Amino acid sequence: MQFRSTIMLGTSAVLAAVIATTVGVVAVTLERDARRTVTRALERSELVFEELQGYRQSLYRAQAEVVSQAPRLKAAASTDDIDHATLLDVSRELQQSAGADFFLLTDGAGRLLVDVAAPDAEGFDLSARAPISTAIEAGEGADVWITDERVIQLQAFTLRFGQDVVGVLAIGFFMDDRVADTVERQTGAKVVIALNGDAIARSQGTSDAELAGALTRAEAIGESQVVTIDGAPHVVVTRALPGYGGEEKLSYLLLQSLDDALATSRALRRNLILIALAGLLISLLLAVWVARRLSRPLDRLVGFTRELAAGRLDARQELSGPTEVQALGRAMNQMAGELAESRKQLAGKERLERELEIAERIQTSILPRAPEVNGYAIASEMTTASEVGGDYFDVLPAGDRCWIGIGDVAGHGLKAGLVMLMVQSCVAALVREQPTASPADHVRALNRVLVDNIRERLEQDEHVTFSLLRIETDGRVVYAGAHEEMIVCRAATGACELIPTPGTWLGVDPNIDLVTRDSELRLEDGDLLLLYTDGLTEARSPAREMFGVQRLADALAR
């Protein structure tokens, strides 16, 4: 057996080594391919960025050329006695019409006439600075300026009045987040424009963490590197900004995560690892199974009988081995199941009997004992059913008057009996504390207690039907609360009246003020008032027909 186990474990080890090697080789290969894919994508993004710059420059050239042909501008630039304010107004209007961010005008020698961004500036010699110098020599020029840490893409044209050069116009547009957003929308790569290591523009999808990671490579112009940002690898490409020849370090960075490209590699590696683990587990299980298959099958039966003897009747014997052993195990499994079911039934029966006994004692122990009330004869009877419920009644003498409460707790068993005991205790306390109060006030107070106890503390969804009556010596009966209809048998006529009990269930809604009101009836000498619970009216005949309220009233009238 040890030899067979060694073979199985050795096979599992070889299988694990092969799968691990395969996983490693595939993962490395796919990761390299993913990096190449991302690098090629960034190269395409670089091409898009430079083409976009060229396209923007061509648009700016066309706009600058149109503005340079404006007669008003030529006239203003060629007129020696025109004041600076007029020239500034003309420049502002033309800047707005062109939609430019920057507007500058010099005379034919390159001296500053107007800078819309700096209205007070004039007279500075810009003849040696591109693109002003280029435009003076060749008629037009383009360059990138940096001013106030903002990058401006400039296009300059000479202003000619006849054959004479009367000025140079330079209009510019900021290279801001809009440029970066355009590249990101077209290529998916994150774009950052950096000046001396600080970001001056970035695409909308670039997070703060990605921005910080990219700026660490801002000065490595011409390089492509892998950086880790928030635990994820990213490829960063840094290039010098096209068209800029100044001394500042102006560059743009393209950033793209390797996570998406590596998703296939990681999924495959994860699947292969799961396959390897499953293979190892199967190999180990197979080794154990072979070892056990070759051992004595009766050992399992011996262990099974010990479990049964210890009382673990939920244990079951695995049916394996020779046919005779399987038959014996099947019979013992059946025996254990029957024993467990018998024990469960016995425990349930004993628990139910104890619960019913306790509930019945609760119901009967708090019933009133032959109450005596001046001017009234009171009789009561309570017969418990085979399944204990939450029926309740109480008679509470209070001086010259008497209080009677009757109700029914939804549900059965010990919980219903407990709620019924709450009702009895609360009503008795309320009546003794305020014997002259209205029944509606006591019902509202009782409801608040029941909502707190039933809903909040017991966490039950039960409710209580309950009516409370205050009986005066002159025959007035003031009552409140919703329960079964009261039956009044009139001595004068022999007829029975069904008195409704308007109201609502208790223990459901903490605020029942709007639906709980006092009602009143009057009893004359010899009148009979009957209060009851639904156990009486819902009693059934052998034909399964309920007794009902009307039959009860008819029986009372007889």
pLDDT in tens, 502-521: 999 999 999 999 999 999 99
**Mean per-residue pLDDT for 486-511?**
94
Alpha-carbon gap, residue 302 to 294, rounded angstroms: 17
Note whether 427 and 444 are within 8 A (CB): no
| pLDDT of residue 263 exceeding 80 | no
Q: How confident is the model at residue 496 (pLDDT cuts 50, 70, 90)?
A: very high
C-beta of residue 518 within 8 angstroms of C-beta of residue 479 = yes
Mean pLDDT for the stretch of residues 119-131: 87
Q: What angle do CA 487, 419, 439 make, to 5 degrees?
A: 45
Whole-number Cα distances in Å, 244 to 195, 237, 240, 250: 12, 18, 8, 8
Q: Where are the domains of the chain?
A: 2-55+177-262, 69-174, 298-346, 367-557
**CATH code for the domain defined by 69-174:** 3.30.450.20
pLDDT > 90? residue 342 = no
Sequence-ordered strand ranges (E) for 197-340: 198-202, 224-229, 232-240, 250-257
Q: What local confidence, expressed as pLDDT, does residue 2 receive?
A: 45
For residue 450, name the pLDDT band (cuts at 50, 70, 90).
very high
Across the range 279-302, mean pLDDT stands at: 64
pLDDT of residue 329: 66
Q: Which of 140, 113, 139 is nearest to 124 (CA)?
A: 113
pLDDT of residue 400: 84
pLDDT at 7 over 60: no
| Between residues 215 and 143, the one the model is more confident about | 143
Return the CATH fold of 367-557.
Phosphatase 2c; domain 1 (3.60.40)
Confirm whether pTM is higher than 0.75. Answer: no
Q: Is 367-557 the same fold as 2-55+177-262?
A: no
The string of DSSP codes covering 352-397 is HHHHHHHHHHHHHHTS--S--BTTB---------SS--EEEEEEEE
pLDDT value of position 432: 93
Query: Is a pLDDT exceeding 90 seen at residue 204?
Result: no
What per-residue confidence (pLDDT) applies to 79?
78
| % pLDDT > 90, the chain | 23
For residue 202, pLDDT over 90 is answered with: no
Q: What percentage of the chain exceeds 70 in pLDDT?
A: 81
pLDDT digits (tens, 9 = 90+) for 144-159: 888 888 888 888 999 8
Q: Inform me whether the pLDDT recorded for 90 exceeds 90.
A: no
Q: Most confidently modeled of 23-27, 247-251, 280-284?
A: 247-251
Supply the pLDDT for residue 294.
Answer: 47
CATH 3.30.450.20 fits 2-55+177-262, yes or no: yes
